[in-house]
Structure formats: structure tokens, C-alpha cells
Amino acid sequence: MRKTIIILSLLFLGTLCAEAQHYDRGYELVPSSPFVKKGTWMAGGSARYSQHVNSNFNLLLINGINSEGFNVSVNPKLLYMLKDNAGVGVKFSYDRGMLDLSSADLSVSDISMGTRDCYQINHKFTAHAVYRSYIPLAGSKRIAMFADLMLGGSFKQGKAFYPGKDYIIGTYEEKYALEIAVDPGIVAFLTERLSLELNVGVFGVSYGWTNQVRNQVTNGNSDTTSAGFMVNLLSLGVGMSYYFL
């Protein structure tokens, strides 16, 4: 019995020592010199624009595509560092897109169908409150990982027109969404104050609802809920930021 008590005591003490041991993973949350100092402001964002024009273009089973359109997106943000390597702020975005499809034909075996004179335009406003935390890589003052915890929502308006059997059919939509998201990334300083950022969405929970009116007569609506934990390459973003006191 005495030997059993001694062995159990040694195992218990060994467990306590193992739990008390500090493991250095190579990432410093609070390095000797902070990556971004308390009281620093950060202003940045990204922007993109794309346009297309198709003239009698063929894509797989779709032939004779005649269309034009554009997409534009502006995403500014502003952060204030409440403490070393951590800050809060806001992030906004505005997106607008248009598609004017004059004609397109789909042909599969003996089945063929086509569409003519379809038009769609929409724009979207998004706002998020952001909490950001930096993790310098091995005490580096130029490269660090970061994670943005975002809480906010969006509002989207859109309308579409397409020819019906006897008359033009028009649809107007309003979409609303609330979401919580986590966007990790990496930041690298190009100069003392200017940095390049790369981020990608990995987790998000959202709830959205849509109100639709067709030909100013028929009303419809839908609700959607989504949650996911995965790398979303479609949300990959690159932007520039400027830090100042």
C-alpha cells in the first residue's frame, strides 16, 4: 500500500510539472517590441473593377453569346489600436454589378433553347464592426499573422428584366443579411508605415431574408441560414493599409 501511494504521488507531481511547463510555439503575442503600438491608427482597403464584352462567343454548350457587363467593388476600413497588437474599427464595402445579355443559345443533343434581351443590375452595401489581433512571426517587425472578428450586415437591391411570352417581365428584389465572420490573414510592411495584406474567410454564420416583387403585382420572400468552417477561396482579398499615430 505504501509503495502504491508513493507511485501515485510521483505520477500526480509529474502531471503538475508537465502542465506547468511552458511550450514555445514560435509565435509571440506580446513580443519585447510590439508589431503595432497602442494608439496607432490604420486606414486601408481594397478596390477592384472588371468589365466584359462578348460578341458571338461560344462557351462549352452555350453558343452565340452576345453580352456586356461590369462589376465594381470598393472596401475601405479604419482601425484604432486599443492596446499593443490589438485594435477595433469599422469596415465598409460597396459592390455594384450589371449584365446585359442580348442573346445566348443552349444546345444539347436534339434539345435547343435560347434567351434574348435579359438585363440585370444590382448594388450592395455592407458594414462590419471589426476586432483585429496581430501575431508577429518569431518576433518579426515586418511580417505577422492577424485575425479579424467581424459582426455586421448587408443590404442589397437589384432588378431584372426579361421577355415573357406576351410582355416584358420585371423583378425587383431587396436582400438583407446579418453575419458573424472570422477572416485570418497575413500582413507584411513594405515601408515603415505602408503594408500589404492578404486575407481569406474561413468561418462565418449568417442569416438573410429576401423580399421580391414581380411586375408590381406578385410578392415573394425567402429566408436563408448558413454556417461554415472552411477556406473560402472566393473570399480571398488583397489590400493596402497605412499606419499612423
Q: Could you tell me if residue 6 is inside a domain?
A: no
pLDDT above 90 coverage of the chain, percent: 62
Rounded to two decimals, the pTM is: 0.81
Handedness of CA 198, 99, 97, 220 (dihedral sign): negative
Separation between Cα atoms, residue 87 and residue 101, nearest integer Å = 45
List the single range of 6-20, 38-52, 119-133 with lowest mean pLDDT.
6-20
Q: Is the pLDDT of residue 61 over 90?
A: no
DSSP-based three-state secondary structure for 151: strand
Q: Is the pLDDT of residue 93 over 90?
A: yes
State the total domains in the chain. Answer: 1
pLDDT at 18: 47
The mean pLDDT value of the chain amounts to 86
The domain containing residue 139 runs over which residues?
A: 28-244
List the single range of 26-30, 94-98, 187-191, 193-197 with lowest mean pLDDT.
26-30
Q: Which residues, 6+ apart, have CB-to-CB distance to 48 below 8 Å?
A: 71, 72, 73
Residue 26: alpha-carbon gap to chain centroid: 28
pLDDT at 2: 56
DSSP-based three-state secondary structure for 205: strand
At 186, which CATH number? 2.40.160.20
Q: Could you tell me if residue 11 is inside a domain?
A: no
Q: Could you tell me if residue 21 is inside a domain?
A: no
Task: Report which of 108, 85, 3 is spatially closest to residue 39, judged by C-alpha positions.
Answer: 85
Q: What size, in residues, is the chain?
A: 245
Separation between Cα atoms, residue 91 and residue 45, nearest integer Å = 9
Q: Could you tell me if residue 15 is inside a domain?
A: no
Helix boundaries (H) for the chain:
2-20
Q: Could you tell me if residue 231 is inside a domain?
A: yes
Separation between Cα atoms, residue 176 and residue 209, nearest integer Å = 5
Q: Could you tell me if residue 7 is inside a domain?
A: no
Q: Could you tell me if residue 142 is inside a domain?
A: yes
- DSSP at 24: -
Q: Is the pLDDT of residue 185 over 80?
A: yes
Separation between Cα atoms, residue 15 and residue 10, nearest integer Å = 9
Separation between Cα atoms, residue 70 and residue 49, nearest integer Å = 7
Task: Report which of 105, 149, 155, 148 is spatially closest to residue 125, judged by C-alpha positions.
Answer: 155
